[in-house]
Amino acid sequence: MKKPLSFISVIVGIVVLLTVLQVVVSNKLSTTGVVLGRYQDEIKKYETENTILAQKLLISTSLASIASQAASLGFIEGNNKLILSAPIPLARER
Amino acid sequence: MWRYRTALFLLVGGFFLIILRLFYWQVVRAEELSSWGKSQYATQLKIFPKRGEIRTSDGYPIATNNVSYLVFINPKEVGEKEKIKTTTILSSFLQIDSASVSGALKKDLYWVPLRNNISPELKEKIELLKLTGVGFEEQSIRFYPEASLAAHLIGFVGKDEAGDNKGYFGVEGYYDRQLRGKAGNAVFIKDAFGRPILAKADDKESQIDGRSLILSIDRVIQFIAENKLKKGLVKYGAVGGAVVIMNPKTGNILAIASFPSFDPSSYQEFDSTSYKNPAVSNLFEPGSTFKSLIMSAGIDAKVVKPDTKCPICAGPVAIGEYQVRTWNNEYHKDVTMTDVIKNSDNIGMVYVSQELGIEKMLEYFEKFGIGSLTGIDLQGETVAELKPRNQWYPIDIATASFGQGISITPIMLLTAFSSIANEGKRMEPHVVAKIETAKGEIIEIKPKMINQPISSETAKVMKEILVKAASQGEAKFASVKGYRIAGKTGTAQIPIAGHYDPNKTIASFIGFAPADDPKFAMLVVVDKPTSSIYGSETAAPIFFDIASDLFTYYNIAPTE
């Protein structure tokens, strides 16, 4: 009669242990989920900020923007090209 | 004992029934019940993938995605006293009429959209007002940092029948399936009142972002071509025009510029006829630029040589009931084939076509790809098929020799012409050089040779003829000093109701440079110029203006 009793005690013990474990893990998971959610929101926020900043960067590095800024600063397109042809050998010059 | 057995039987039977019922719920009706349960606490939403970027050869995204917001309102959260204030503020900030806002507030719903695509700045302004029941949902819209640069090449993103994003025209249309990716699902948890709460169960595995395209288009060359073309069209009072620049050795398109154009971010505000890319969708009679192909065919078929004298060039030539003249009514007796191209002599070309004959002529048309699609990776390429063999009459052959009575697209002409610059090899034109997957893998699109319409010897001879045409022909005044450029002018009359309009033309110039090691082949088409009708006085100066900048850009030193 002693053996079944100890077996049942072990089973009950395991059940109690698993129940406590489940409560602890569930509790832990539930709070982790909130933290995870917060991190996800934060990542999303930074991603959005990054996209907005990238947009500003792309606009300011666009050729259209650079050309208009150059024009407003007084740069003008040079129409005359100076072509330096191959130098005449020294012996031929004389 | 029987009591014990009965109890055991009842218990086992009871358990069996319970297991049976559980099996029915858990297995047979599992999916149905699960979705019922889910519908009580969650909403399934479609997660749209990020559309791939379109980048120029330097990696700059000329079409990318930007953050915008959808403004929505929860009418159940807005109190009666606040409704008037909310309506006034939102209608003024969102620039929508107050009736729409008050109408939305009367609805028996938790979520009513008010306006799409508002900027992050406007969102911040509205947020500062802390209006009850007003929320924002992030959206992704197409953004073009270079505004309307290469608009015809890019195309635009609109909606399909289901309301999903879809690319139209240009690369957006041609590569839509690559760019759009695959949508996934996400489950949003609701509270007991059906209001969405923050927790979100993602199922992003099924979502695949779109692939990005890396074009062969050089942003600087595209910018130069568009600016020079725009200035040229204003200067020469033209209706429109196009410039196509290609690397003749690879078939890679370096720039495609055309006007009138549109802004892809507000394409709805433009006439739908402006969406078409004239470089691939517009057919025109090429005029004298086509002579370079016919002369190449004549030399390749060995029916003429550069020094062959034209025996019929002393005056106009009669073909049936028609009389063919030169463009300036000047005639040169015994003119050589080199000078036929230099003077753009129609009679000399009629002689070449007569020497070639109909069979050879059509054979070379086919070799040069005339009458068939080039295979360029842009949506909307058109083609005018050639007439059947039995419908070609002597006058058709004669006029086709100088580029009249035959319709082609600018890209078809440039692809065929580029074979002269590439030792006789015709390359398939391409605008996309690489495709980048969402995981960063690069798929390279290698240059593809279509065929070799002429031998490398013919190409060499033809190159010299074209160098002479560019440096000593009608457009010599505009040529860039110090460089060997091969080129040919073109002035095509426009057919209207069975005859040609005497005052309106399509002026063009086609060429490649440096002639001995070509870095680019270029076609300039000017539609109905008014300051002068000739290609030499309109399209040629634009060509040389762009070429001059390209020499500087490529660091090409003068050779002469």
Sorting pLDDT into bands at 50, 70 and 90, what band is B77? confident
A with B: how many residue pairs have Cβ under 8 Å apart?
50
* Long-range Cβ contact pairs of B161-170 (< 8 A, separation 24 or more): B164/B48, B165/B48, B165/B51, B168/B275, B168/B379, B169/B275, B169/B276, B169/B277, B169/B379, B169/B380, B170/B277, B170/B378, B170/B379, B170/B380
Query: Does 3.40.710.10 match the CATH number of domain B219-553?
Result: yes
Q: Would you list the domain boundaries of chain B?
A: 66-145, 219-553
Contact B123, B69 (CB under 8 A): yes
Contact B440, B453 (CB under 8 A): no
Contact B433, B215 (CB under 8 A): yes
- Is the per-residue pLDDT at B351 higher than 50? yes
By three-state DSSP, how is residue B371 classified? coil
Crossing angle of helices B120-128/B83-94, nearest 10°?
160
User: Could you give the CA distance from residue B233 to residue B230 in angstroms, rounded to a whole number?
Assistant: 5
User: Could you give the CA distance from residue B376 to residue B428 in angstroms, rounded to a whole number?
Assistant: 7
Q: Which chain B residues are closer than 8 Å to A61 by Cβ?
A: 60, 145
Contact B150, B222 (CB under 8 A): yes
Q: How many CB atoms lie within 10 A of CB B82?
A: 14
Q: Which residues of chain A have a pLDDT value below 50?
A: 94
Mean pLDDT, chain B, integer: 90
By three-state DSSP, how is residue B311 classified? coil
Q: Report how far apart the first and last C-alpha atoms of chain B are (Å, whole number).
A: 121
Q: Which residues on adjacent β-strands are paired with residue B494?
A: B501
Contact B25, B18 (CB under 8 A): no
Task: Please indicate if any CB of chain A lies within 8 Å of the CB of B555.
Answer: no
Task: Please indicate if any CB of chain A lies within 8 Å of the CB of B65.
Answer: yes
Q: Report how far apart the first and last C-alpha atoms of chain A are (Å, whole number).
A: 129
Crossing angle of helices B291-300/B394-401, nearest 10°?
110
Nearest chain A CA: its distance from B76 CA (Å): 26
Are B482 and A67 in contact (CB < 8 Å)?
Answer: no
The pLDDT value given to residue A89: 62
Q: Tell me B265's DSSP state.
A: G
Main-chain dihedrals φ then ψ at residue B401, nearest 5 degrees: -65, -25
Of B503, B504, B472, the C-alpha closest to B489 is B472
User: Could you give the CA distance from residue B388 to residue B450 in angstroms, rounded to a whole number?
Assistant: 23
Using alpha carbons only, give the angle B227, B233, B234 rounded to the nearest 5 degrees. Answer: 95
Nearest chain B CA: its distance from A63 CA (Å): 7
Q: Which residues on adjacent β-strands are paired with residue B318?
A: B323
Contact B535, B508 (CB under 8 A): yes
Write the Ramachandran bin of B283: left for phi over 0, alpha for psi from -120 to 50, otherwise beta. beta
What CATH number has the domain spanning B66-145?
Answer: 3.90.1310.10
Contact B100, B33 (CB under 8 A): no
A→B contacts (Cβ < 8 Å), by residue, are 33, 37, 40-41, 44, 48, 51-52, 54-55, 58-59, 61-64, 67, 81, 83, 85
Quick check: is B288 catalytic? yes
Spatial CB neighbours of A57, under 8 Å, sequence gap ≥ 6: none
Residue given tokens 């309009």 in the structure block: B501
% of chain B residues with pLDDT over 90: 59
Sorting pLDDT into bands at 50, 70 and 90, what band is B189? low
Task: Please indicate if any CB of chain A lies within 8 Å of the CB of B482.
Answer: yes
- Is the per-residue pLDDT at B288 higher than 70? yes
Nearest chain A CA: its distance from B220 CA (Å): 8
Closest chain B residue to A37 measured between Cα atoms?
B199
- Is the per-residue pLDDT at B101 higher than 70? yes
Q: Which residues on adjacent β-strands are paired with residue B339?
A: none
- Please tell me whether the interface predicted TM-score (ipTM) of this complex is above 0.90: no
User: Could you give the CA distance from residue B339 to residue A42 in angstroms, rounded to a whole number?
Assistant: 73
Residue given tokens 């060997």 in the structure block: B484
Give which of B65, B66, B67, B481 to mutate to test A binding, by max A Cβ within 10 Å: B67
> Strands B486-496, B432-436: parallel, antiparallel or unpaired by DSSP?
unpaired
**Which among B61, B67, B548 has CB closest to A58?**
B61
Can you list the alpha helix ranges (DSSP code H) found in B368-422? 394-401, 410-421
Between B317 and B498, residue with greater pLDDT: B317
CA distance readout (Å), B355 to B169, B270, B304, B401: 43, 50, 8, 11
The pair of structure tokens assigned to B285 is 């009679």
Contact B513, B486 (CB under 8 A): yes
Q: What DSSP letter does each residue of B42-108 carry, written as one string?
A: EEEEEEPPPPPPEE-TTS-EEEEEEEEEEEEE-GGGS-TTTHHHHHHHHHHHHT--HHHHHHHHHSS
- Convert the pLDDT of each residue in B36-68 to its tens digit: 887 777 766 667 788 999 999 999 999 999 888
Residue given tokens 């002035």 in the structure block: B491
Q: Which chain A residues are closer than 8 Å to B199 by Cβ?
A: 33, 37
Annotated catalytic residue within B212, B281, B288, B292: B288
The pair of structure tokens assigned to B248 is 């003749």
- Is the per-residue pLDDT at B198 higher than 50? no
CA distance readout (Å), B193 to B73, B114, B190: 17, 23, 8
Of B315, B324, B450, the C-alpha closest to B394 is B324
- Convert the pLDDT of each residue in B514-541 to its tens digit: 999 999 999 999 999 999 988 989 999 9
The pair of structure tokens assigned to B61 is 């995204």
User: Could you give the CA distance from residue B315 to residue B379 in angstroms, rounded to a whole number?
Assistant: 46
- Convert the pLDDT of each residue in B428-471 to its tens digit: 999 999 999 999 999 999 999 999 999 999 999 999 999 999 99
Q: How many CB atoms lie within 10 A of CB B316?
A: 14
The pLDDT value given to residue B540: 95
Q: Which chain B residues are closer than 8 Å to A52 by Cβ?
A: 67, 120
Q: Which helix (DSSP H) or strand (DSSP E) does residue B451 occupy?
A: strand B449-451
User: Could you give the CA distance from residue B261 to residue B125 in angstroms, rounded to a whole number?
Assistant: 35
User: Could you give the CA distance from residue B353 to residue B398 in angstroms, rounded to a whole number?
Assistant: 6
- Convert the pLDDT of each residue in B392-427 to its tens digit: 988 999 999 999 989 999 999 999 999 999 999 999
Can you list the alpha helix ranges (DSSP code H) found in B428-487? 456-472
Task: Please indicate if any CB of chain A lies within 8 Å of the CB of B51.
Answer: no
Half-sphere exposure (Cβ direction) of B246: Cα atoms closer than 13 Å: 34
Crossing angle of helices B219-235/B539-553, nearest 10°?
150
